[in-house]
Amino acid sequence: MTNIEHLNIVILAAGQGTRMKSSLPKVLHPLAGQALVQHVINASKKLSPEIINVVYGHGGEQVQQYINDPEINWVLQAEQLGTGHAVDQVKDQLKDNQLALILYGDVPLIKVETLTKLLDQAKDGFSLLTVSLDNPQGYGRIVRNSKGLVEKITEEKDASNDVKKIKEVNTGILAVKADLLKNWLGKLDNKNAQEEYYLTDVIAMAVKDGFTIETTQPNDEYEVLGVNNRLQLAELERYYQQEQANKLMAGGITLADPTRIEIRGELIHGQDISIDINTIFEGNVSIGNNVLIGANCIIKDSKIADDVVILPMSILDNTSVGKGSKVGPFARLRPGAVLSENTHIGNFVEIKKSFVGLGSKVNHLTYVGDSMVGKNVNIGAGTITCNYDGANKHQTVIEDNVFVGSATQLVAPVKIGKNATIGAGSTITTDVADDELAITRVKQKNIKGWKRPVKTKK
| Annotated catalytic residue 394 | no
List helix spans (H) across 46-139: 60-67, 83-88, 112-121
* Cβ proximity of 280 and 260 under 8 Å: no
Using CA atoms, how far apart are residues 279 and 261, in angstroms rounded to an integer? 5
Name which of 56, 27, 50, 51 is nearest 40 in CA terms.
27
How far apart (Å, rounded) are the C-alpha atoms in residues 95 and 97?
A: 6
Q: Which of 6, 58, 364, 394 is catalytic?
A: 364
Phi, psi (deg, nearest 5) at residue 319: -130, 170
* Helix (H/G/I), strand (E/B), else coil: 185: helix
Q: Which of 220, 258, 269 is nearest to 109 (CA)?
A: 220
State phi, psi for 230 to the nearest 5 degrees.
Answer: -70, -25
DSSP sequence for 400-445: TT-EE-SS-EEESSEEE-TT-EE-TT-EE-S-B-TT-EE--PPPP-
* Strands 30-31 vs 34-35: parallel, antiparallel or unpaired: antiparallel
Q: Distance of CA 17 to CAs 27, 77, 230, 239, Å?
A: 8, 15, 10, 21
SS3 (DSSP) at 141: strand
Q: Rounded to an integer, what is the distance from CA 161 to the centroid of its chain? A: 43
Q: Where in the sequence numbering do the catalytic residues fall?
A: 364
